[in-house]
Chains A and B, each alone.
Chain A
Amino acid sequence: MAKYLLKRVFYLLLTLFIVITVTFFLMKLLPGTPLQNQQKLSPAQQHLILKQYGLTKPIWQQYLIYVGGVFQGNFGTSFQFSDQPVSYLISSRIGPSLLLGLQAMILGVVPGILVGALGAIKKNTWVDTTTTIISILGISIPSFVLAVLLQYFLGLKLHLFPIADWGGFAYTVLPTLALAASPFADTARFTRTEMVDVLNSDYIELARAKGLSKWGVIYHHALRNSLIPVVTIIGPLAVNIMTGSMVIENIFSIPGIGEQFVKSILTNDYPTIMAVTIVYSVMLMVVLLITDIVYGIIDPRIRISGRSN
Chain B
Amino acid sequence: MADEVKLPADSFEPLDKSKHLDSEKIAAPNLTFMQDAWRRLKMNKSAIIAMIILVVFFVLAFGSAFFSPHNPNAVNPQFANLPPKWPGININGVNGTLMQAGTRVNAYQAAGAGAGVHYLLGTDYLGRDMLSRILFGTRISLTVAVVATAVDLLIGVTFGLFSGWKGGWIDNFMQRVIEIIMSIPTLVVVVLLILILKPGMMSITLAIAFSSWTTMARLIRAQTLELKEQEYVLAAKTLGESSLKIAFKHLLPNLSSIIIIQTMFTIPSAIFFEAFLSFVGIGISAPQASLGTLLNDGQKNFQFLPYQMWYPAIVLSVIMIAFNIFADGLRDAFDPQTKG
Contact = CB atoms under 8 A, between A and B. Distances in A.
Contacts of A84: none
A132 B185 CA distance: 28
Contacts of B192: 23, 26, 273, 277
B99 interface: no
B230 interface: no
B281 A142 contact: no
Contacts of A141: 317, 320-321
A158 to B, nearest CB: 14
Contacts of B185: 239, 242-243, 280-281, 284
Interface string A171-199: 00000000000000000000001001100
Given A136-B325, A141-B320, A250-B280, A285 B183 contact: yes
Nearest to A144: B279
Contact of B316 (A145, A266, A276, A285): A145
Interface in A266-282: 266, 273, 276-277, 280-281
Interface in A143-166: 144-145, 148-149, 151-152, 156
Interface in B88-108: none
Contacts of B323: 140
B322 to A, nearest CB: 8
Contacts of B275: 142, 144
Interface string A236-259: 000100110011001100000000
A243 B320 contact: no
A15 interface: yes
Contacts of B180: 14-15, 18-19
Interface residues of A, number: 45
A127 interface: no
B299 A148 contact: yes
Interface string B144-181: 00000000000000000000000000000000100110
Contacts of A137: 321
A227 interface: no
Contacts of B183: 12, 15, 281, 284-285, 288
A23 B268 CA distance: 28
A140 B268 contact: yes
B215 to A, nearest CB: 10
B309 interface: yes
B30 interface: no
A298 interface: no
B306 interface: yes
B309 A144 contact: no
B184 interface: yes
Given A197-B339, A242-B185, A156 B303 contact: yes
B280 A140 contact: no
Contacts of A250: 280
A265 B191 contact: yes
B276 interface: yes
B282 interface: yes
B175 to A, nearest CB: 11
A196 B276 contact: no
A139 interface: yes
Nearest to A277: B188
Nearest to A141: B317
Given A15-B183, A266-B281, A148 B313 contact: yes
A2 interface: no
Among B188, B279, B281, B320, the one with the most A-chain Cβ atoms within 10 Å of its Cβ is: B188
Contact of A262 (B184, B281, B295): B281
B195 A145 contact: no
A242 B187 contact: yes
Interface in B42-101: none
A219 interface: no
Contacts of B184: 15, 19, 277, 280-281, 284
A12 B299 CA distance: 40
B186 interface: yes
Contact of B324 (A136, A239, A273, A280): A136
B196 interface: yes
A239 B185 CA distance: 6
Interface string A71-92: 0000000000000000000000
Given A152-B306, A250-B280, A140 B317 contact: yes
A139 B269 CA distance: 10
A197 B338 CA distance: 10
Given A242-B187, A285-B183, A142 B302 contact: no
Given A148-B302, A262-B281, A29 B188 contact: no
A242 B299 CA distance: 22
Contacts of B196: 26, 29-30
A140 B324 CA distance: 7
A303 B116 CA distance: 74
Given A145-B317, A152-B303, 9 more contacts: A136-B325, A142-B316, A142-B320, A144-B279, A148-B313, A246-B187, A251-B299, A261-B191, A276-B188
Interface of A: 11-12, 14-15, 18-19, 23, 26, 29-30, 136-137, 139-142, 144-145, 148-149, 151-152, 156, 193, 196-197, 239, 242-243, 246-247, 250-251, 261-262, 265-266, 273, 276-277, 280-281, 284-285, 288
Interface of B: 176, 179-180, 183-188, 191-192, 195-196, 268, 272, 275-276, 279-282, 295, 299, 302-303, 306, 309, 313, 316-317, 320-321, 323-325, 328, 339-340
